[in-house]
Each structure stands twice: as structure tokens, then as C-alpha cells.
Amino acid sequence: MPKATAGPEIERLIQLLARLPGLGPRSARRAALHLIKKREPLMAPLAAALQTAIDKIEVCRTCGNIDSQNPCTVCTDPRRDPSVIVVVADVADLWALERAEVLNARYHVLGGTLSPLDGIGPQDLTIDALVSRAHDPAVKEIIVALNATVDGQTTAHYITDLLHDAGVAVTRLAHGVPVGGELDYLDEGTLSAAIRSRTPL
């Protein structure tokens, strides 16, 4: 059995850091050491920020986004177009679309996609809340911005079926050649989707 090189508190810190995405045991050890060395300027504010996050961050009751206020900043922003709702699988997707700054719409976070393999069914997602939001007369369009995977598109078609009677336009993101993509390296399915979705120049 390897000898302990640090006290249980430090080992616990390393173990917890190693559970973060992108960090393995070795990099967690480095991060822990860095935090301990920068105790006042970094570790204390980080601990305080984490505690504040635990206390204040909630899931928005309207859209499923995470924020320190409920309803979230996106839902309460009066400059956003209330007639368009963008449906995303996860908060990370919402942030990605916000980074792109191409939409001034509101969002709906499903909390995942339907996945029989993982046992995720409609009852595990916020689909019912989306359907009730779509029946608001102010909503005119639902943009289904889900992953271009079989699970993502199964969810998209499922949602489209449910929204059929809501009287809103349901659109989805285009599929095709990514920027920087070389045709030679694309799979035939993506190429065929791109050809079908071609637009006039």
C-alpha cells in the first residue's frame, strides 16, 4: 500500500478536484497544491464563491436554465423576443448559443434527450413544461436546437409531434458541412444531408 504523502484534508481535496471534468488525479494534485500555495488570493475567494453558488444558484422554474435568480436573467430580460423559444438539451447548449450572439430569443432547457439505452424517457425531461409554454399565444416559433444525433433528433421529432396542435411554427437547425470541414473527410450521411439542405448562392 502506498504511503500517504499528505494529511487526510489534502487528500480529500485532491480526490474531489479529480472528479471535475478535465482533471485526473495528477492534475488534481497540481491544482490542490496551487490552491494551497495561493490560500488567501485564490483558495478563500474560491471557497466563498462555491458557497455562494450552493446557496443561490437555482434551476429556473420557467425555462430550466441555472441562475442565481428565479426566473432566470434570460426569462426576465424584457429585450428578448418572447415570440421565439429555442429548445436546447442542456444549459451548456444555451451558453453556446448565447456565445454565438445570433439569437435574441428565450430558451427552454430539456435537461437531456430521450435515450432508451440510458433509460431516459419523456417523463425525465421538461417536455410537458415546453408544451404548456408553446400554448402561450405570444409564442410564434419554437426552434428545436438539439444535437444532430439519433437521440437528439428522436427527441426533436417527438417534440414536433407534441407541438402540432399548439399553433406555432416548429423549426430545427440545419445539418451539413461544418465551417472548416473538408468534403473528403465527411461521412456520406452528412454529405447527403448537406446536399438536401443546399441553398442558392
Partner 1 sequence: MEWTDDGIVLGTRRHGESSAIVEVMTRAHGRHLGLVRGGSGSRLRPMLQPGNTVRVVWRARLDEHLGNYAVEPLRLHGASQLAASHVVYGVTHLAALCRLLPERDPHPEVHDHLTSILDQLDEPRIAAVEMVRFELQMLAELGFGLDLGSCAATGSEDDLGYVSPKSGRAVSRVAAAPWQDRLFRLPAFLSAAVAPSSEDIADGFALTGYFLARHVLEPRGIAFADAREGFVAAILGRRSVARSAQ
CA 157 to chain CA centroid, Å, is 19
Check residue 140 for interaction with partner 1 (CB under 8 A): no
- Residue 165 CB, shortest distance to partner 1, in Å, is 8
What are 136's three cell numbers?
402561450
- Cα dihedral: 96, 100, 106, 109 (round 10): -10
Q: Of the listed pieces 26-34, 82-90, 93-101, 162-170, which binds partner 1 according to CB under 8 A? A: 162-170
Q: Using N-to-C axis directions, what is the helix angle for 8-17 and 25-37, rounded to 10°?
A: 120
Other Cβ atoms less than 10 A from the Cβ of 3: the count is 4
Q: Which residues, at least 6 apart from 4, have a Cβ–Cβ distance to it below 8 Å? A: 11
Q: Which of 42, 48, 50, 150 binds partner 1 (CB under 8 A)?
A: 150
Least gap, CB of 17 to partner 1 (angstroms): 15
Tell whether residue 177 is a contact of partner 1 (CB under 8 A).
Answer: no
Residue 190 is a binding residue for partner 1 (CB under 8 A): yes
Is 45 among the residues that bind partner 1 (CB under 8 A)? no
Q: Considering the rule CB under 8 A, would residue 116 count as an interface residue with partner 1? A: yes
Break the chain down into helix, strand, coil percent, rounded to 5. 45, 15, 40
- Interacting residue with partner 1 among 27, 34, 149, 169 (CB under 8 A): 149
Among the listed ranges 6-14, 66-74, 80-88, 160-168, the one in contact with partner 1 (CB under 8 A) is: 160-168
Stretch that binds partner 1, among 31-39, 42-50, 89-97, 118-126 (CB under 8 A): 118-126
In the window 10-39, what residues touch partner 1 (CB under 8 A)?
A: 21-22
Exposure pattern of 139-152 as b/e (b: 16+ CB <10 Å)? Answer: beebbbbbbeeebb
Q: What are phi and psi of 168, to 5 degrees?
A: -120, 155
Per CB under 8 A, the list member of 11, 122, 140, 166 interacting with partner 1 is 122
Count of all residues that appear for the chain in the document: 201
Binding site for partner 1 (CB under 8 A): 21-22, 114-123, 148-151, 153-154, 157-158, 160-162, 164-165, 175, 187-190, 192-193, 196
